[in-house]
Amino acid sequence: MSRGTSFPAVCLVPGEASGPLALLTHPLSLWGGFDPHTGRVTDENHPQCGLQIGGRVLLMPGGRGSSSSSSVLLESARLQAHPLAIVLVEPDPILVVGALVAADLYDVHIPVVSVAAAVLARFEGAAEARVDARPGHARVGFL
């Protein structure tokens, strides 16, 4: 892994963000698995329970259901405890809706992109990441 390396992505919600990285090895449901007040993973069955994802670029394989996850993401945006960006292997329309509504209601922009599964593994051990999500040209990289 070298500083400045980036990978192609698909833009789901446009925007740019960079910051500390939170890499989840398993999908997460924000409904019941994430505290929108603290920005931490709270699902006791999740391997990264307790990890801070608010204020970080979140990389994970995908969401794990509950249509209410969009509401939890929206609430975390209102409380300023949201992920700075979300990078997924499996696109999740529920998280996309939450990010779009956060921009509309609170002017909080949470870019969302999807990447190939192999890209997620390349971020293991990285401390910071950058997301540049533009329609037709999206990239995710190390800082």
Q: Which residues are catalytic?
A: 66
Report the candidate in 17, 21, 13, 47 with the shortest Cα–Cα distance to residue 33: 47
Q: Which pair of structure tokens corresponds to residue 121?
A: 């593994």
Q: Which pair of structure tokens corresponds to residue 23?
A: 């890499």
Question: How many angstroms separate the CA atoms of 75 and 62, rounded?
Answer: 20
Report the candidate in 101, 112, 44, 108 with the shortest Cα–Cα distance to residue 70: 101
20 Cβ contact list (under 8 Å, min separation 6): 55, 56, 57, 127, 128
